[in-house]
Amino acid sequence: DFMRALDEVHPLFGANDEDLERSFEDGIIKFSPYIDKILKNGRECVNQVRSGETPLLTVLLHGPEESGKTALVAKIATDSEYPFIRMIKPVDLNGMNEIEKIRHLTKIFTDAYKSPLSIIVLDNIELFVDWVPLGPRFSSAVLGAIKGLLRNKGPKGRPLLIFATTTERSALAQMQLRFDYEIPVPNVQTQQELGNIMQESGEFGPEDIQRALGEIHETTQRQEIGVGVARVLRAIKTAKQDPDRVGRFAELISESVAYSPS
């Protein structure tokens, strides 16, 4: 029967249990007060669903690339200590056709309906429907299925909290994919915030930080940084390969600033 048909779809990577933890293996640096606010907001949703009054709550974390959406949602989910937590990434659906994708997603939801308290994370939800702005193109079959799942209450007494992340908030709106609550995740915006990350990384002394910020400002002539925290952390790792760690870091960040929309 249908349930058995569901079992026949085996994803390639989905069984990987360490996914959630690896999502924030570089830690959560509180480079701005807003980070704590996001975590608190997430905690409130976790508590509200745990209270049992709300059978279904859907929450979207949206923000620019590499701003830390996945790390933050993984942290919130891990901290919830719910008995059922599943993060699904687009690559987990690789090699499935549309119907198989839908059945695989549906299967995960029916698994969740069996747990007394569940979190499902749909990471980069726009890619589940193969969204491409060119056209635009997307799979309306998978989209329709996800809409159905996002509104479907499980059996009584089986509350479910659904998180999704995206860089394409307006695409979701155009596709009429709606959420009960939305939480924006910002880039590293100010020189001060960038300095905080440099310091937390333990790779730079106070003078290094001053020099780097100075050079970045000189090169870019901009006040705003506008770069994702993940990109900053990668730049630190790349700069470590260079004898002039500080100069190289400033160079890499300046390039990223130049590319970001002012």
Ligand X SMILES: Nc1ncnc2c1ncn2[C@@H]1O[C@H](COP(=O)(O)OP(=O)(O)OP(=O)(O)O)[C@@H](O)[C@H]1O
Residue 28 or 141 with smaller CB distance to a second copy: 141
User: Which of the ranges 62-70, 94-102, 176-184, 192-200 carries the binding residues for Mg ion, by CB under 5 A?
Assistant: 62-70
Q: What residue is closest to Mg ion based on CB? A: 70
Q: Using CB distances below 5 to 8 A depending on partner kind, what does residue 22 bind out of ligand X, a second copy, Mg ion, none?
A: a second copy
Residues 14-33 touching ligand X, rule: CB under 6 A, are 23-29, 31
Peptide bond into 159 cis (omega under 30): no
For the chain, the first-to-last Cα distance in angstroms comes to 55
* By the rule CB under 6 A, 105 interacts with ligand X: no
Residue 16 or 97 with smaller CB distance to ligand X: 16
The site for ligand X, by CB under 6 A, has a size of 23
Residue 49 or 191 with smaller CB distance to a second copy: 49
Q: How far is the CB of 174 from a second copy (least distance, A)?
A: 5
Q: Using CB distances below 5 to 8 A depending on partner kind, what does residue 72 bind out of Mg ion, ligand X, a second copy, none?
A: ligand X
Residues 170-209 touching ligand X, rule: CB under 6 A, are none
* By the rule CB under 5 A, 70 interacts with Mg ion: yes
Residues 137-156 touching ligand X, rule: CB under 6 A, are none
- Of 49, 60, 72, 209, the one binding ligand X by CB under 6 A: 72
Reported residue count of the chain is 262
Instruction: Reduce the secondary structure of the chain to three states and give it as a string.
Output: CHHHHHHCCCCCCCCCCCHHHHCCCCCCCCCCHHHHHHHHHHHHHHHHHHCCCCCEEEEEEECCCCCCHHHHHHHHHHHHCCCEEEEECHHHHCCCCHHHHHHHHHHHHHHHCCCCCEEEEECCHHHHCCCECCCCECCHHHHHHHHHHHHCCCCCCCCEEEEEEECCHHHHHHCCCCCCEEEECCCECCHHHHHHHHHHHCCCCHHHHHHHHHHHHHHHCCCCCCECHHHHHHHHHHHCCCCCHHHHHHHHHHHHHHHCCC
Residue 216 or 236 with smaller CB distance to ligand X: 236
Q: How far is the CB of 205 from a second copy (least distance, A)?
A: 20
The upper half-sphere exposure of residue 31, i.e. CA atoms within 13 Å in the direction of its Cβ, equals: 28
Rounded-to-integer distance, Cα 88 and Cα 125, Å: 9
Residues engaged in binding a second copy (CB under 8 A)? 1-3, 5-6, 10-13, 16, 18, 22, 44, 47-48, 51, 53-54, 65, 89-97, 99, 102-103, 106, 110, 127, 130, 132-134, 136-141, 143-145, 147-149, 151-153, 155-156, 174-176, 178, 180, 234, 237-238, 240-241
Q: How far is the CB of 257 from Mg ion (least distance, A)?
A: 21
Q: Give how far the C-alpha of residue 203 lies from the chain's centroid of Cα atoms, to the nearest Å.
A: 26
The residues of the shown chain that bind ligand X, judged by CB under 6 A, are 23-29, 31, 35, 65-72, 124, 165, 167, 229-230, 233
